[in-house]
Chains A and B, each alone.
Chain A
């Protein structure tokens, strides 16, 4: 598109006044600013290895698997996190909950194994977002080391132990639905929803007998 001359506004630099033209007041002004920083020194640098760094509240460190009230793993093995993970570092093997065990009577599925490759993980937080029962959360632990790659594959026990370590430390409170599963796991009657928009009379897809199949 050609530039319309009416849309162009020329910005002129303002003319200098007397004090600006002599430069020196501006120099003194600058010296005052820098000198003030020297005399009122307040460092923004954190002395990291000696002093623990001050992390933001939303810091995304090592994952943990939350427990519910009964101390069971909260995860319902729905695979949402593994699906959302852009780095594909989550590996879940689901198993049906033992129905005859009174401890597991209210649960359908649970993860038999839950492994996160912490070396592959990019710490984006998508798993946390995706989890419908708030089972997987990220903590403030950032200094994790291991002697081998195998050591950095965090399994279910390790992730649960991270939860035990961090739940009371103040930095990583269990964020939502403490102790309970999230609403997604509750059995409840969902209200029937009408179509979000009014259906037009000539909309053939709305008249279809089954979704996705459009009859002529």
Chain B
């Protein structure tokens, strides 16, 4: 079966003119990633609606098709066929551009994320499926963060071009939040980069896989993992961090004025972002496609590649489900709490974590000491948080209304 597919593919590539042949495989990868991503996004939305329904003792969407399985199709059709309203008071160019920027940047960030075991001897044109759109990017992590922070342009432009106070407030909040959380996000990965002496996502993955289960970065960087996860959720504007679009205060936040497919694009961008951060979390901290016994670095049984892909995808799926469950579990932060968490909690913790890694590397201590050390840091931070809270002072007596204050007080 696989042979048949690969020989058909080779025949198809052979049909192409010579200079185009090296591009065939990347284009195939891009096509697969884009289309799978779109389909998966719509079904993740269904999953999220079902999950939230089950959590709240409801049934969730169950009218379209068996168990509501065709609901995404109905949703997509609705979004496509709805009237696309562009209000008269908006800046039309930026208003139309903003959803495009959002989707473009989130998809672009996916370019350096491996979604399977990337072959080590990859060269263009040798017929191996790369399992990554852009192989061999040595600054993969930095690339993702750079592109990810570009995504805020979509939000800012959308909110500003809407010419609406709710949108403006939403996009201001979004920019403040994204800029604040960039720092812990970046700092949490610095430790990883130092431990693996590489910024390439593929290399970090291979490094973990070659050391077995004990090589997973979660054992060396547990606190960094938590920081990364929290900061990445904040970057993706997922609840509990969706201050930018909180309905009670800002109607719809920065996409108040958007409707139909333009709104759908924002939504798609958010979900793609969630998928990307789930990939990153499982690749950077949980060993990617590695799993003891069934998917080791040297497992070469037939179909091992598919098993590795399956292992990676199930890890990613678990992280996505965790993110979705968190959304329906934790209430939204207040804005000062959000900022406090980043600046007073995550950034100092991440910095201490980086210092720990540097110390361990400098003095060539056994690296697993990082696990207890990280835990100790976490406990210390918790203790500092409890101990530094000033005891509540008893407030003074309640303000007593003055007697004889004009005719008002005597009239009671």
Contacts and interface: CB of A to CB of B under 8 A. Distances in A.
B251 interface: no
Contact of B409 (A2, A16, A43): A2
A45 B401 contact: no
Nearest to B392: A12
A28 to B, nearest CB: 10
A3 B403 CA distance: 11
Contacts, number: 77
A142 to B, nearest CB: 22
Contacts of A45: 57-59
B66 interface: no
Contacts of B325: 31, 34-35, 38
Interface of B, helix, strand, loop or mixed by DSSP: loop
B57 A3 contact: no
B201 to A, nearest CB: 26
Interface string B394-412: 1101111101000001001
A17 to B, nearest CB: 6
Interface string A38-79: 100111110100000000000000000000000000000000
Interface stretch (B19-27, B134-142, B306-314, B378-386): B378-386
Contact of A21 (B59, B386, B397, B409): B386
A30 interface: yes
A1 interface: yes
A37 B397 CA distance: 45
Interface string B43-77: 00000000100111111000000000000000000
19 contacts: A2-B412, A10-B394, A15-B386, A15-B391, A18-B386, A22-B385, A24-B226, A31-B329, A35-B325, A37-B54, A37-B56, A38-B54, A38-B55, A38-B325, A41-B57, A43-B57, A43-B59, A44-B58, A47-B59
Interface of A: 1-5, 8, 10, 12-13, 15-19, 21-22, 24, 27, 30-31, 33-35, 37-38, 41-45, 47
Interface of B: 51, 54-59, 226, 322, 325-326, 328-330, 378-379, 381-383, 385-386, 389, 391-392, 394-395, 397-401, 403, 409, 412
